[in-house]
Amino acid sequence: MKEYLPIALIIFAIFIFIFLGALYSPTFSQQKSFLELFMLLGGLLFVFSMLAVAVILGFSSFALFLTIFLVAVMLLFGIEAVLLMGVTIYAFWGLIFTMQLLLFDHDIKTSKEWFQSRYTKKSFEIEFYAFYPLLGAMYILIEYLPALIYKDSMLSFSPKRVQEKMNDFLIK
């Protein structure tokens, strides 16, 4: 817990300085700008902390936090913000999931530990199909484009093979 103390103090200091800027600004427009910055940074901090919770707990445990988070965003910023946050969270979590899946395909030990600690066969299947489009996009970005640009050999990839490999790996 001590490793998080410096970052917490820095974030707290940033909010204090912005609040003091809003408090002691000579004009209303400057105060308004500082308060908007305070709200924006607070929203960003909330979004990134929710993303950290999602990564630590896994997506299935994150469902309750996501619901509370989306309700709070809807109350503060409207339905457009909820849609934007839903797409953003899907993209971030999907990129994390697909990157780990590609690492698993290449037999990386930490990726295997990550999947074993977070997934059962059923929960993996649900997320595999949910993030299937991102899996193809990630493969194109990581394997296909560099092979095309640098004329390197391309590693073979089959989502079906990875799915079968993961089903054999996950025993629950």
| Element housing 4 (H / E) | none
Residue 73 lies in a domain: no
Asked if the structure places residue 135 within a domain, the reply is: yes
Tell me if 74 is assigned to some domain: no
Whether 1 has a pLDDT exceeding 70, the answer reads no
Whether 43 and 90 map to the same domain: the answer is no
3-state class percentages of the chain: helix first, strand second, coil last, to nearest 5: 85, 0, 15
Amino acid present at 131: F
Apex 154 CA angle, 150 and 156, nearest 5: 165
Is 64 a member of any domain? no
User: Are 98 and 142 part of one and the same domain?
Assistant: yes
Domain count, the chain: 2
Tell me how far apart the alpha carbons of residues 143 and 106 are, in angstroms, rounded to a whole number: 13
Q: φ and ψ at 78, to 5 degrees? A: 105, 175
164 and 86 in a single domain? The answer is yes
In a domain, 113, yes or no: yes
- The closest of 130, 134, 117 to 58, measured between CA atoms, is 117
Q: DSSP secondary structure string, 45-73?
A: HHHHHHHHHHHHH-TTTHHHHHHHHHHHH
Residues 83, 164 within the same domain: yes
What is the C-alpha separation between 20 and 95, in angstroms, rounded? 38
Task: Kindly state whether residues 52 and 102 are assigned to the same domain.
Answer: no
pLDDT tens readout for residues 14-67: 889 888 888 898 999 998 998 888 888 887 787 777 667 666 666 556 666 677
- Does 109 share its domain with 166? yes
The string of pLDDT tens digits covering residues 123-153 is 889 889 989 988 888 888 887 888 888 887 7
pTM for this prediction = 0.59
Quote the pLDDT of residue 54. Answer: 65
- Domain containing 6 equals 1-57
Same domain, 112 and 153: yes
Q: Which two tokens stand for residue 133?
A: 């489009």
158 lies in the same domain as 90? yes
